[in-house]
Structure 1
Amino acid sequence: MVEPTSVSPTPGSLAMEGGSVGTPPEMPREEQQLAHALTTGLEGSSLKKSSWGILVPVMVGGALVALYAVATPFITPALRKVCLPFVPATSKQIENVLKMLQRRRGSVVDIGSGDGRIVIAAAKEGFTAVGYELNPWLVWYSRYRAWREGVHGSAKFYISDLWKVTLSQCSNVVIFGVPQMMPQLEKKLEVELENDARVIACRFPFPHWTPDHVTGEGIDTVWAYDVSTFRGKEKRP
């Protein structure tokens, strides 16, 4: 009978036995310190990357919010039912409007006053000037500009829809309109204004009225209509 041969287990067989991993031999102290340093460095690097991964989206989000706040005054007016986008008046347009106000008396009202340039310019010429604007950001900015220019006492701005403003006491009405709104605005002005009032249109003329005065050219053209002239004509139904 042959005695079974005793075989010493190898390190490999210990590692596989029971499905567990054997304990490795103890690492020298220098190598342990090196391994610890490497591990700590990798963890620190991961934390830095994680911090940047959070910080960058926050910075981008903050920039977008700031941009939205700045752009809102320019975008919001274009979302109205009747499109009346905010486009700042040029220096030449303001000059032409002031020409149409020469030798005129009474107040000046700008319906859809935007950033207040026309109202402030009229106030500097000695008029009591009022601006009506639906966008609150533009109204507050206009008030600031009037204060900065030293005419806040004679230049007033109100948050209001131009269609809800009563114009019966207005002597001079300025409008930077668009073609879609001009026919409806004609009817409103014909009903509300007194005979001695004047309407000054910029960029686009009224479709059914004949202007009494015209000045400028291109986008700087300004048309002046005296109520006493167009009221004598037959009104449209």
Structure 2
Amino acid sequence: MYIDIKRRRLVLAACGLPLALPALPTLAQPVAPPGLDVPYEPSPPEVVDAMLKLAGVGPNDTVYDLGCGDGRIVIAAARRGAKGVGIDLDPKRIAEAKANAAKAGVAGRTRFRVGDLYASDFSDATVVTLFLWPHVNLKLKPILWQQLRPGTRVVSHIWEMGQDWPPERSETLGRRRIHLWTIRDAHKRAR
């Protein structure tokens, strides 16, 4: 397995994170494959549960996971009674997510599609989940502000949204962090 340590340390340092973070469990590809913005790095089940809990996901929610990978966050949201939508650039991951939702018995509450996050419509979301890299979060931030209604919650595993949008809450699970934001009217005016 090839690990670009120098690049990882630069990204961590640029985000103000400790350089000695452990390798992420089940790291499939530490460098983004050609045509993808980030490598496939699934969130551990305890992080998925904590993200959904932090966002207060329940039966009245529509949860969008941007960069959904194998669908685990969308499936966990559906198990809580929410509707879930996953978007990913990788057709292999979308096929895997659909199969996983069927195995979990929640296919009727989930949808998965291949799509470009920057060109996708997720305006009906009440919760958006992310486990992307810092540059992707920053590029998505104005799109989130534009599309999402006030009151929509945004939860990110590890990465923040820049100094001009600090998280309302952050939690630590071991050495992992999750962050919560809520879309406000001020964000709508800021775009």
**Taking structure 2 as the reference length, what is the TM-score of the superposition?**
0.76
Distance 1:84 1:171 in 2: 24
Structure with bigger helix share is 1
Distance 2:32 2:103 in 1: 24
Q: 1:211 aligned to 2:174?
A: no
1:166 match: 121
Tell me the SS of whatever aligns to 2:190: coil
Deviation of residue 225 (structure 1)? 0.2
Structure with larger Rg = 1
Q: 1:176 aligned to 2:108?
A: no
Over aligned residue pairs, what C-alpha RMSD do you find?
2.3
Q: Which runs of 4+ in 1 moved over 4 A?
A: 73-77
Deviation of residue 229 (structure 1)? 7.2
1:193 match: 148
Query: Quick one: higher RCO (CA 8 Å, sep 6+), 1 or 2?
Result: 2
Q: 1:88 aligned to 2:50?
A: no
Distance 1:193 1:89 in 2: 24
Inter-CA distance 178–218: structure 2 relative to 1 (3 Å threshold): farther
The amino acid that maps onto 1:91 is P
Tell me the SS of whatever aligns to 1:80: coil
Distance 1:200 1:178 in 2: 13
- What count of residue pairs does the alignment treat as equivalent? 162
Is the contact between residue 121 and residue 147 of structure 2 (CA under 8 Å) also seen in structure 1?
Answer: yes
Inter-CA distance 108–206: structure 2 relative to 1 (3 Å threshold): same
- Cα offsets for 1:29-80 (capped at 9, x unmatched): xxxxxxxxxxxxxxxxxxxxxxxxxxxxxxxxxxxxxxxxxxxx96995323
Distance 2:33 2:177 in 1: 22
Tell me the SS of whatever aligns to 1:94: helix
Distance 1:187 1:91 in 2: 29
Structure with bigger strand share is 2
Distance 1:87 1:173 in 2: 18
The amino acid that maps onto 1:186 is K
Distance 2:66 2:98 in 1: 15
What is the aligned counterpart of 1:222 among 153, 178, 182? 178
Q: 1:151 aligned to 2:106?
A: yes
Tell me the SS of whatever aligns to 2:87: strand
The amino acid that maps onto 1:131 is G
The amino acid that maps onto 1:107 is T
Distance 2:178 2:95 in 1: 27
**Taking structure 1 as the reference length, what is the TM-score of the superposition?**
0.62
Is the contact between residue 213 and residue 224 of structure 1 (CA under 8 Å) also seen in structure 2?
Answer: yes
1:62 match: none
Inter-CA distance 119–174: structure 2 relative to 1 (3 Å threshold): same
Tell me the SS of whatever aligns to 2:48: helix
The amino acid that maps onto 1:196 is G
Q: Which runs of 5+ in 2 are unaligned?
A: 1-27
Is the contact between residue 115 and residue 142 of structure 1 (CA under 8 Å) also seen in structure 2?
Answer: yes
- Cα offsets for 1:104-141 (capped at 9, x unmatched): 54200001000111011111010000100111111111
